[in-house]
Chain A
Amino acid sequence: MTTTINPKALPAIGIDLQYSHTIGRAEFSGPGFRNPTAMARGEEDVMYVANRSYDYRPDGKRITMCTVGEEFIGEFAKGVFEQGDGEAVSTDGAIIWPTAITVGPNGNVYLADEYLDRISIYSPDGEYLTKWERPGDGDGQWDKPTGMAFAPNGTLYVVDCNNHRVQMLTADGEYIGQWGEFGDGPGQFNMPFGIEVDQDGSVYVADWRNDRIQKFTADGKFLLQFGETGDAPGQFNRPTDVAVDNEGSIYVADWNNDRLQIFHPDGSFAGMTYGEGTISQWGMGKLDANPEMWEERKISQGLDREKLFWGPIAVECDDEGRIFVVETARSRIQVFHKLDSVFYGVNERVSGGGGRL
């Protein structure tokens, strides 16, 4: 056996995800989602999911409240079902084209709506509180708000998609500052979409039509960027969202490549998944009520396609180390855990021992 050593080619550390489970089924109301575009984690195991639905089914436009364990809690901001040509309503608390949802330091739920140029705020149990409806391109105004994230210090970052910039607000909505303009240079954007703030307060933006992720300091100074157009590892096709876990790993919803990519804190590629979806509990309930669907599934070809992401539009990490991927075209959320490839053995963290080879 000959051993060749090339010290310049050390194998990279990868990150794998362990699939946990899938939440959801396609529904216009009740337990399920319809074209979900965003989710946020609340207290305990609660999650809020924003559903865009079809425009001719405004009754499917709503925020679903459920748990990570798939317990249905309720829904709010629900549209009204009308005769054939029913159009979505724009009254206070209603949603039309939701793009982002996040939970504030006080537990309130913030929802961005790019049709109404409105951010609506609800109490943790879904009671409508207030709204900031500010169409325009001035300070504190926006033309399609598409991303929102709270910093540890309480600052709210809002992606202002069609003005190609990021704005900073207080939790009460007062304008603090902004950065960005149209372009493809550092600190410039082309229709940016999702946003994330990490534990240190650094800001990550999914620069959608530039096919890259940019990282900034809390006040908007450019730090780094990664990604380019394509479908190879590390390349993007219209990334819609970015999330960062407690260890600094970066997750990108690579929307038009139908995959989730993972990056190290320096932006180097660490891994990816195309999805591993399984039938959710709600899905099981549906199939059990319709036994012939089980029969159809037995004979259906290409059922493996059901595992794959279709339109992964949002990604979210929670404090328990879980990663959530929201799929618009599948009306579901796939949940993963991070697997660290670095050796620590089974007992290391418990006993400080060395584990077993």
Chain B
Amino acid sequence: MPTNQEIAQMAHLMRRAGFGATYAELEQRAADGYEATVEELLNPIAQPDLEMDILERHFVDWKEMNALEVNQAYITYRMINTKRPLQEKMALFWHGILCTGNSKCEHGRQIQLQLDMFRDLGMGNFDVLLKGLSRDPAMVFYLDNCMSHKGAINENWGRELLELFSLGVGMDGQANYSEDDVKEAARAFTGWTITNAVPRYPYGRYESNFIYNPYDHDNDQKTFLGETGNFNGDDIVEIIARQQSAARFVSRHLYNFFVADEVQVPAWQNTAPRDPEAIALLERTYFDSGYNLTAMLRVMFNSDFFKNARFEKVKSPTEVVIGTMRLVQDFTSPKLGLQPLANTIRYMGQDLMNPPTVEGWHTGAEWIDSGTLVERINFAADQVGNTSLPGIREIVSRLDSEQVSTAEGIVDRCLEMVGAYELASETKEQLVAFVGNPAPGSPEYSDTIAQTLQLIVSTQEYQFA
């Protein structure tokens, strides 16, 4: 039997490297061991993918997957049910950094193909991922590289590639690149374009394809980050990947997403990392592994700084909704209501595949305002209060079989069931006073547990991952 400490550690890992897990899964994984679980998460393709034939057969709009809403429903279902949680979490990670938005692209399928690319390449080498991104039609369109021509560059892609996708404006108080580097990068990517799209009517769109037009490529010398040559786009990416600032960029983003909330990205140039040693370790791993994300994730998840960072992050709306669904075990097979469920993520402030700008979403405490907090609390409370849901039934029958009957016992056990949460002592006392002492097996027992769960998910503590 795993100890409570081991369960708590596993709950932490699964919240961060995945989207949370039921208590039964946590027990199983804790018994398998922490490092073994990390290894399983790092090797997603060893786990079965979703059975897409069954899903497309029921959700018939998933073949075409055109409208944003259909895509959001799909991603939501995927995150709830995937047996490859880290792969999906990494796709979400990259989606929040290497942003493309439906408000401009207006073709959900094209963005979904980009997310597929993140699923394929997101745990591999950073330079390969950036090469994939440079060839991604949604991105080429979103950042106007298709409008950038030999002799008449559009800097949008060149700039965001450096600023938001790979280096960051600066670090340790210094700029990471110059305006000239932006222009030179843009020149190197001239001719990287896409085919003309097939219009939406009358039968629906088809995706655009990436295409290289050598006649529109600037073949003259470029000087980029101190190196000179007749660079093409891939050369730029390779130079980028060698930079210390690229290592910093990837490390800090991983830390911010998986370990603990950092200040918002624009402040990184002049704000030191929250944990400089952790960042230094990740940077070393970046270079030692040849820019490999899986290697960095392995070091991170096995580090003390990760293990000790429980509840140091405000959950994103996606984490609130998916984590709650994984807890209550709903939407494990096709049914109606998936779209409204996906909408709740939007209502909490994260319109997936449609971030507000290329900068993505601001994270941490900025997820929360009085409107989104009410959405979060009411959503989670509605779910855990529903004793017909399998995950809640499991919790009730578990406590029942354990004959947990004291108020304190019920509160403690419920906190463990939702992922080994800890409450401020005053808060816990209030919950204990609320619960009373219902007898296991009595009609009030399951209601009491449901209400206890509702109060737990309403706490400030539950807003943290």
Contacts and interface: CB of A to CB of B under 8 A. Distances in A.
Chain A–chain B contact at Cβ < 8 A: yes
Contacts of B196: 296, 299-301
A302 B196 CA distance: 9
A338 interface: no
Contacts of B201: 25-26, 283, 286-287, 290, 293
Given A26-B202, A299-B196, 17 more contacts: A25-B201, A25-B202, A26-B201, A55-B61, A55-B337, A56-B73, A208-B57, A256-B53, A279-B202, A297-B198, A300-B195, A302-B198, A302-B206, A302-B209, A303-B198, A305-B198, A313-B60
Given A300-B196, A300-B197, A54 B69 contact: yes
Interface in B397-414: none
Interface string A34-77: 01010000000000000011111000000000000000000000
Contact of A305 (B54, B73, B206): B206
Nearest to A25: B202
Contacts of B53: 209, 238, 256
Interface in B68-120: 69-70, 73
Nearest to B206: A305
Interface string A95-120: 01100000000000000000100000
Contacts of A226: none
Contact of B63 (A53, A208, A300, A311): A311
B199 interface: yes
Nearest to A88: B336
A350 B461 CA distance: 86
Given A256-B53, A310-B64, A293 B199 contact: yes
Interface string A179-210: 00000000000010100000000000000110
A335 to B, nearest CB: 15
A85 B198 contact: no
B338 interface: yes
A306 interface: yes
B58 interface: yes
A207 B284 CA distance: 55
A132 interface: no
B417 to A, nearest CB: 29
A145 interface: no
A282 interface: yes
Given A300-B196, A301-B209, A306-B198, A26 B203 contact: yes
B203 A330 contact: yes
A52 B336 CA distance: 12
Contact of A311 (B54, B60, B197): B60
A80 interface: no
A290 B195 CA distance: 22
Interface in B305-320: none
Nearest to A87: B336
Nearest to A296: B199
A24 B201 CA distance: 11
Interface residues of B, number: 33
A60 to B, nearest CB: 10
30 contacts: A25-B202, A25-B203, A54-B61, A55-B73, A55-B337, A56-B339, A87-B336, A87-B337, A87-B340, A96-B336, A115-B335, A256-B53, A280-B202, A282-B202, A283-B201, A286-B201, A299-B196, A300-B199, A301-B197, A301-B208, A302-B198, A310-B64, A311-B56, A313-B60, A328-B60, A328-B63, A329-B60, A329-B204, A330-B204, A332-B203
Contacts of A24: 202-203
Interface in B289-345: 335-340, 343
With a 10 A CB-CB cut-off, give which of A55, A97, A277, A290 has the most chain B CB atoms.
A55
Contacts of A310: 63-64
Contacts of A303: 198
A149 to B, nearest CB: 19
B50 interface: no
Nearest to B58: A97
B338 A55 contact: yes
A238 B337 CA distance: 26
B67 interface: yes
A331 B70 contact: no
B354 to A, nearest CB: 15
A331 B202 CA distance: 9
Interface in A283-333: 283, 286-287, 290, 293, 296-297, 299-303, 305-306, 310-311, 313, 328-332
Contacts of A280: 202
B336 A54 contact: no
A311 B199 CA distance: 19
B203 A300 contact: no
A283 to B, nearest CB: 3
A56 to B, nearest CB: 4
A277 B209 CA distance: 22
Contacts of A208: 57
A50 to B, nearest CB: 11
A115 B336 CA distance: 9
Nearest to B72: A56
B336 A55 contact: yes
A132 B204 CA distance: 35
Contact of B195 (A87, A283, A287, A301): A301
